[in-house]
């Protein structure tokens, strides 16, 4: 664990256990440096981490203070989504329209989570595709009416066993991409009118889809205080008769730290106690820049309550519309739901992914993709250090393909988004990942961009003649 996180966790524990009272002043930077035996930069980073989560606040020329619970109640409380569907859809449609205009001008899109064409493994895919078509064209043109192309399901089982998840080919149902898997999982595990708890920020189109399926949404906003987040979730489950939870342990949030293995086990304990389905989106879990790949919630599932959904759209390219679900106890319902939309699955794309998974070239491609991501993280850190978005700082740098940047107090991510568009660069305003319009003090950047293009996009934002202001209304 980085030193600053260790210091932050120690202070957080003292606050939660009441050793430091709400409203109390924290030790000065100098005295805390001596107490914890760390550098000034480490101590300031620890305080900044706690400030991001709302645990402490800073007062000019006075120091750091423990926040009072009432000051953060509205930011932490679960939020019942009860907007008309037309308004929910319009929020996303406005951004889609902006992106269409940006692409027509050949701008730089750091918002959409689609791999840069320069990062796609075109040679590897082309060679494999030609070989498959030459060997058995007829089989590739014949639809698959079962739970999925068996060679792909076998290849996926081997891939997941390498991730320490017990699996065989019978555990998978293939789908038309990860979004299709998630929608099918919602329909297989819940009924119209049921309530689903969703930890935000999350995949925004899914919020629209769940709303359109006539499911109620309880939004649980993430904070740096993971223990309190889980308490909020449990309170919401009891109060609002929640029937399912949507989780993504591989999706980074503005507070950097991910769910620990202890937190994952706690989620599954909640699932058992309250008879819940856990719908997991792991589409970003295949490209991790951590030394050890994060284990998804499914790795801890002993009773089949997790419907684990994923695809390689963020690894091999969004055009390969093949996803899958490991539905556990909901397998029969999952197959029935999928058969309504896709009674027959295309074989060629499934065969292609199966061959790619079994090839050593797949691991080489993922390694090169991770290297590109690490370079982009360093580029972003350097740009922020040189004054891009003055007063901002990177809050999640080990989240694989996504990075969150916290803006200075009083700066609107929506305003930054609009100003960036004027320079032909799209960045994601944090508010778009919450129907309650939270996280407008953060922007999210997609790192699956070729390093030269990424560096060029940041340089456009930082040009003296078109510099983004450090503070916007």
218 SS3 class: strand
- Region for 63 from its dihedrals, namely left if φ exceeds 0, alpha if ψ lies in -120 to 50, beta otherwise: left
Query: Which one-letter DSSP state was computed for residue 467?
Result: P
Q: How many CB atoms lie within 10 A of CB 357?
A: 18
Q: Residues 355-401: pLDDT tens digits?
A: 999 888 888 998 899 899 989 988 998 888 777 877 788 887 666 78
* Sign of the CA dihedral running 461, 466, 470, 473: negative
- In tens digits, the chain (473 residues) has pLDDT values of 567 777 877 887 777 666 787 788 888 888 888 888 888 878 887 887 677 556 787 776 678 888 765 344 444 555 555 555 555 566 667 777 888 888 888 888 899 888 888 988 888 999 998 998 888 888 788 888 889 899 999 999 999 988 788 899 999 999 999 999 999 999 999 999 999 998 888 877 787 788 888 888 888 888 777 777 888 888 888 888 899 999 888 777 887 656 788 889 999 999 999 999 999 999 888 887 665 667 899 999 999 999 999 999 988 888 888 999 999 999 999 999 988 888 888 889 999 999 999 888 888 998 899 899 989 988 998 888 777 877 788 887 666 788 888 888 778 888 888 889 888 999 988 888 877 667 888 899 999 999 999 999 998 888 754 445 444 33
What 168-172 contacts at long range (C-beta under 8 Å, 24+ apart), as own/partner pairs, is 171/326, 172/147, 172/148, 172/324, 172/325, 172/326
Q: Residues 132-186: pLDDT tens digits?
A: 888 888 878 888 888 989 999 999 999 998 878 889 999 999 999 999 999 999 9
């Amino acid at each position: 664990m980085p030193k600053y996180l260790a210091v932050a966790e120690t202070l957080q524990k003292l606050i939660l256990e009441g050793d430091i009272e709400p409203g109390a002043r924290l030790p000065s930077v100098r005295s805390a440096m001596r107490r914890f035996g760390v550098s000034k930069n480490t101590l300031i980073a620890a305080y900044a981490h706690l400030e991001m989560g709302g645990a402490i606040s800073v007062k000019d020329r006075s120091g750091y203070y423990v926040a009072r619970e009432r000051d953060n109640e509205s930011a932490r409380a679960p939020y019942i989504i009860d907007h008309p569907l037309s308004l929910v859809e319009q929020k996303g449609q406005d951004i889609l329209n902006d992106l269409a205009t940006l692409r027509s001008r050949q701008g730089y899109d750091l918002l959409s989570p689609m791999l840069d064409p320069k990062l796609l493994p075109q040679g590897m895919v082309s060679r494999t595709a030609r070989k498959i078509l030459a060997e058995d064209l007829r089989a590739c043109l014949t639809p698959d009416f079962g739970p999925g192309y068996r060679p792909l399901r076998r290849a996926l089982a081997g891939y997941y066993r390498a991730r320490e998840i017990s699996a065989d080919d019978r555990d998978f149902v293939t789908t038309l991409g990860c979004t299709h898997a998630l929608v099918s999982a919602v329909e297989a595990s819940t009924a119209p009118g049921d309530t689903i708890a969703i930890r935000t920020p999350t995949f925004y189109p899914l919020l629209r889809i769940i709303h359109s399926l006539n499911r109620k949404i309880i939004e649980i906003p993430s904070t740096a205080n993971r223990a309190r987040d889980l308490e909020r979730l449990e309170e919401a489950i009891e109060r609002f008769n929640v029937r399912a939870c949507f989780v993504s342990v591989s999706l980074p949030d503005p507070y950097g730290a991910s769910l620990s293995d202890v937190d994952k086990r706690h989620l599954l304990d909640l699932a058992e106690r309250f008879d819940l389905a856990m719908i997991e989106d792991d589409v970003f879990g295949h490209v991790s820049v951590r030394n050890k790949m994060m284990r998804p919630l499914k790795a801890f599932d002993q009773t089949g309550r997790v419907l684990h959904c994923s695809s390689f759209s963020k690894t091999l390219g969004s055009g390969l519309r093949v996803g899958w679900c490991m539905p556990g106890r909901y397998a029969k319902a999952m197959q029935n739901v999928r058969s309504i939309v896709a009674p027959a699955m295309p074989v060629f794309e499934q065969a292609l992914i199966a061959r790619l998974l079994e090839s050593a070239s797949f691991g080489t491609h993922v390694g090169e993709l991770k290297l590109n991501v690490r370079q982009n993280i360093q580029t972003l850190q350097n740009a922020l250090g040189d004054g891009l978005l003055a007063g901002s700082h990177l809050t999640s740098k080990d989240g694989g393909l996504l990075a969150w940047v916290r803006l200075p107090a009083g700066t609107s991510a929506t305003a930054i988004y609009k100003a960036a568009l004027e320079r032909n660069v799209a960045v994601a305003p944090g508010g778009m990942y919450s129907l309650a319009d939270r996280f407008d003090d953060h922007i999210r950047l997609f790192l699956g961009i070729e390093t030269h293009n990424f560096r060029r996009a940041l340089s456009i934002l930082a040009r003296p003649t078109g510099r983004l202001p450090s503070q916007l209304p």
